[in-house]
Structure 1
Amino acid sequence: MKKVKILILTVVFLLTMALPAMAQSNSPVNKGSFQGASFNGSDGTVDTSVDLFTNFEDKDSYILYYQTYNYEKDEYYYGSAVVPATNAIFDVNKGIAKVNTTVEIYKVGYTCDEEGNCTGDETPAGTKSINLAWTFNPKSYSTSKYSDKNVQIDFDQYIKLSKGTFKNYNNVSVSGALDGKSTDSFENSGANVSTGSSFAIIK
């Protein structure tokens, strides 16, 4: 359930960030739909997650996020990539989602001065190949909703009201590999798939 909540909050954040571009039309009401699939796995002190979302600014592509964190070494790596629809499939009617792409990875570090002011820096750390397939029952899901008011999205632009409805599919399974590491080889793992729609009134 925690991963589902994180997935929902991430989608809400991404949709909110995309609203300034969507608001270029003359209509104050903006509608959007999204699809999302995620995988998370852990091995010892290392957590890994992959999230695939609708690209709100280009409906012919998706955005993939890859993250790993080593608690023992305090090392964090991340990467993101725009995935064209030719390398990603999301078919709710058939209950499948797939992605096959390569992501550039960066190691994130922080440098702090004597006063405690910290700055982040990113170091290229190669690439990761992502080849995952999610399967789920499109008729088995739970529904959740969110709403928000008076959210600033630009210098002089606000969301007067934002509402959305999510379908969180049950019994999601995932197969494939992350840079050659099979999803079955993780000590613990989980997967989620969500779809939904939303609208926002811009003022």
Structure 2
Amino acid sequence: MKKVKVLILTVVFLLTMALPAMAQSNSSIYKGSYQSASFYGSEGTVETYVDLSTNFEDKDSYLLTYQSYNYENDESYYGSAVVPAAKAVFDFNKGTAKVSQTVEVFKVDVTCDEEGNCTGDETPAGTKSINLTWAFNPKSYSTSKFTDKNVQIDYDVYLKLSKGTFKDYNNVSVSGTVDGKGTASFEYSGGNVSTGSSFSIIK
């Protein structure tokens, strides 16, 4: 059976990326929550990934990202959109997440020189309509924790301590369409829903 490559950004990575901006706001302590729902689908040589997750730059919105890659043609597409919190649904008591949004997409061409230095050029490639609903059992999940100490997160800025607890829900089903293609029509597909909270001290 073909293995589907899942392009999922980890929760720890996303939180770490958000911390430098928090440090610049003169805040040494950060408490926050994280919510994410993702979908991946594979059809032939094309893999598609969609992620709806907490927007750390604006607590009243979510960030919706779209990625696809064609292994045969070596073509990569990427797009993102900010979704107001009122237009995205995360109901962990009922086991539901939902989003309906259009994303502007760009074709990404990466070129590298002999020394391995790479640059990327983006070309507008239209829009993709995302209409997805995630369903899961709110009582069925696995829990994970992490702890980071003395990690450099920006120039002369260090993470003194960071702790987080996360829940990854089991048996997640995804329905709807990605660019007009139904989730059930992908050769291979799946989804993930997670939530969590973290506490960080920056020095």
Instruction: Assess same fold via TM > 0.5.
Output: yes
State the alpha-carbon separation in 2 of the partners of residues 151 and 64 from structure 1: 28
The runs of at least 4 aligned residues of structure 1 exceeding 6 Å deviation read: none
* Counterpart residue number, 2:41: 41
Structure 1 portions without partners, runs of 5+: none
Q: Is the 8 A contact 1:175 1:182 kept in 2?
A: yes
Equivalent residues in 2 for 1:156-195, closer than 5 Å: 156-195=156-195
Cα distance in 2 for residues equivalent to 1:6 and 1:165: 22
In the TM superposition, residue 25 of structure 1 has moved relative to its aligned partner by 6.1
Distance 1:85 1:186 in 2: 29
CA distance in 2, matches of 1:16, 1:114: 31
Quick one: distance in 2 between partners of 1:116 and 1:28?
Answer: 37
The one-letter code matched in structure 1 to 2:145 is: K
CA change 1:6–1:67 in 2 (3 A) is closer
Counterpart secondary structure, 1:23: helix
How far 1:99 sits from its partner (Å)?
0.5
* 1:19–1:48 Cα change, 3 Å: same
**TM-fit CA distance, 1:30:** 1.3
1:142 equivalent to 2:177? Answer: no
In structure 2, the residue corresponding to 1:93 is in which secondary structure? coil
| Shift in Å, 1:119 | 2.1
Give the Cα separation in 1 of the matches to 2:118 and 2:198.
37
TM-score with structure 2 setting the length? 0.91
Q: In structure 1, what is the Cα distance between the partners aligned to 2:123 and 2:26? A: 42
Q: Which runs of 5+ in 2 are unaligned?
A: none
Q: TM-score, normalised by structure 1?
A: 0.91
2:22 counterpart letter in structure 1: M
With 20-29 and 60-69 compared, the bigger mean Cα shift is at: 20-29
Residue 93 of structure 2 aligns to a residue whose secondary structure is coil
Which residue of the partner structure matches residue 54 of structure 1? 54
* Residue in 2 that maps onto 1:98: 98
Q: Determine if contact 1:11/1:53 at 8 Å carries over to the other structure.
A: no
Q: Relative to structure 1, is the Cα distance of residues 20 and 119 closer, same or farther in structure 2, using a 3 angstrom cutoff?
A: closer
User: Which deviations, in whole Å up to 9, do the C-alpha atoms of 1:30-69 show, x marking residues without a partner?
Assistant: 1111100000000011000001101122221100111000
**Aligned-pair distance for 1:87?**
2.0
Shift of 1:171: 1.0
- Mapping 1:66-145, distance limit 5 Å: 66-113=66-113, 117-145=117-145
Once residues 130 and 187 of structure 1 are traced to their aligned partners in structure 2, the CA distance between those partners, rounded to angstroms, is: 18
Write the letter of the residue equivalent to 1:67: Q
In the alignment, is residue 15 of structure 1 matched against residue 27 of structure 2?
no
Identity %: 77
Distance 1:141 1:125, change over 3 A: same
User: Number of aligned pairs?
Assistant: 200
Q: Secondary structure at the residue paired with 2:15?
A: helix
